[in-house]
Amino acid sequence: MIYSVDFKALAGKISHVDVAKYLHDLGWQEFSSKRNLVKVFQMETQYGFFQVDLPLSRELRDYPSAMYRAVECIADSTQKSVEQIILELLNPLSDILRIRIQEPGIETGSIFVEDAIRLYDNAKKLLTATAMDIAHPQLFHAKRPENSIVEFVNKCRFGQTEMGSYVVSVVCPISTISKNEVMQLSLFNDEDECAQSLTRKVVNKLITSIGIVKDAVNKGSLEDTIKEYAGSDNSISANFLDALSGINIYRSNSSLDITAKYAPTIRINTLSDAFISINHDHFTPIDTLVKKIKEFQESEKTYFGRIKTLTAQPDPSVRRDGKIEIVFLDDAQKKTTASVVLSTDDYDTAVEAHRYGKQIKVVGTLSGQTGQNRRRLDCSYFEVLG
């Protein structure tokens, strides 16, 4: 519950236009009223029969009080708290991630400053890494996120904390990326479009990825699982693991719970169980793998060259990756050829680079003996120069 907050004042900030669309989408029936400044909605739920009198002008002196009464009625009809309904109506087209830390000593709803800074900082990193895993599924993201992903994450907001444990609400407006620009959708956009938005994909993948990590840790197969899924739709990067590890719960008998509260009017493309919980014991294997991957990344080198050949599945609709051969100078300044497996996005970029003879940059680990015609370069970063 939010403390020291004027709920009526908050209710006065809610748009009656958004509430009307919200009620329509949830199946409330609108009935004619002789009052020009009020809309009447009715609905029968398992909890009883309810009627909402919705004020239609902010100029009304009692608009905050009238809107608050409407919120109370909606809350009663769903058995949700007034706080939760106000949060939904102030953010009518947003998915909300609730990140909850449970451990002895924070029942009063406060934590140490250092722990709070780590939580907020890594919550942002977790969103960024998830979006990067969707856009560029690979084991490690060496480059800075593109501007569209940075903008997408920056549009998210932290909400109020709650008592009883330490809960942070991350409000994620339903947004999509088109032509490298972030477009925030509204209640009046098509439901299918909203359900397939980047926001919904990020929220679902974040929950799913933590579930995969938890299951793999329980089975003792975390490293194998991460390697197996690298480059696929289930790909989980070291960046994601690092951010998750950054919210580490260092005390025993503690847990981290994450729940997705979906925009109530967007009811498709949701997880049947949008809750995941991991405890203190899960973090040691995650920390160990992150350190191992980082050590591996530090051993990588940067290679500059040009593309010699390209090979990929002819049908782009089923293509999962592509292979190129590059020519470059090795440490002895000898001309060397190596094969590189790329994600579909990077492969498409490589096709254009080959077409125009542009130089490329590959960061990775080179394997195979010197003098071999075809050595292998395990790539963590690919870029076209010029």
Residue 260 lies in a domain: yes
**Contact between residue 130 and residue 303 where contact means Cβ atoms under 8 Å apart:** no
Distance CA 318, CA 297 (A): 30
Half-sphere exposure of 139 (CA within 13 A, CB side): 21
Q: What's the pLDDT score for residue 5? A: 67
Q: What's the pLDDT score for residue 91? A: 86
Residues 36 and 178 in one domain: no
Residues 314 and 267 in one domain: no
Residues 133 and 272 in one domain: yes
Distance CA 52, CA 41 (A): 5
Residue 357 lies in a domain: yes
Residues 179 and 47 in one domain: no
Q: What's the pLDDT score for residue 1? A: 40
CA 45 distance to own-chain centroid: 33
Q: What's the pLDDT score for residue 139? A: 84
Residue pLDDT, tens place only, 334-356: 888 999 998 888 899 999 999 99
As for how many domains the chain has, the answer is 3
Residues 205 and 282 in one domain: yes
Residues 278 and 353 in one domain: no
Q: Which of 297, 319, 349 is the last residue of a domain?
A: 297
Residue 33 lies in a domain: yes
Q: What's the pLDDT score for residue 2? A: 41
**Contact between residue 185 and residue 193 where contact means Cβ atoms under 8 Å apart:** yes
Distance CA 222, CA 170 (A): 27
Residues 142 and 243 in one domain: yes
Residues 101 and 182 in one domain: yes
Residues 186 and 81 in one domain: no
Distance CA 309, CA 304 (A): 16
Burial tier of 136 (Cβ tally within 10 Å: 0-12, 13-18, 19+): buried
**Contact between residue 284 and residue 136 where contact means Cβ atoms under 8 Å apart:** no
Q: How many CB atoms lie within 10 A of CB 91?
A: 19
Residues 270 and 170 in one domain: yes
Q: What's the pLDDT score for residue 298? A: 67
Q: What is the sign of the dihedral through the CA atoms of 337, 340, 344 and 350?
A: negative
Residues 224 and 134 in one domain: yes
149: containing domain: 94-297
Residue 233 lies in a domain: yes
Residue 199 lies in a domain: yes
R_g of the chain, CA atoms, integer Å: 25
Residues 116 and 66 in one domain: no
Residue 134 lies in a domain: yes
For the chain, which residues score pLDDT lower than 50? 1-3
- Which residues are CB-contacts of 129 (< 8 A; sequence separation ≥ 6)? 141, 237, 239, 240, 242, 243
One-letter amino acid at 297 equals Q
Using alpha carbons, select from 337, 362, 346, 357 the residue that is nearest to residue 312. 346
Distance CA 186, CA 184 (A): 7
Q: What's the pLDDT score for residue 143? A: 76
CA 246 distance to own-chain centroid: 16
Residue 2 lies in a domain: no
Q: What's the pLDDT score for residue 128? A: 97
- The CATH number for 351's domain is 2.40.50.1040
Q: Which of 278, 297, 316 is the last residue of a domain?
A: 297
Q: What's the pLDDT score for residue 345? A: 83
**Contact between residue 340 and residue 133 where contact means Cβ atoms under 8 Å apart:** no
Distance CA 176, CA 347 (A): 23
Distance CA 7, CA 238 (A): 42
Q: What's the pLDDT score for residue 250? A: 64
- For the record, the structure tokens of 279 come out as 């405890």
Q: Which of 244, 269, 297 is the last residue of a domain?
A: 297
Residue 259 lies in a domain: yes
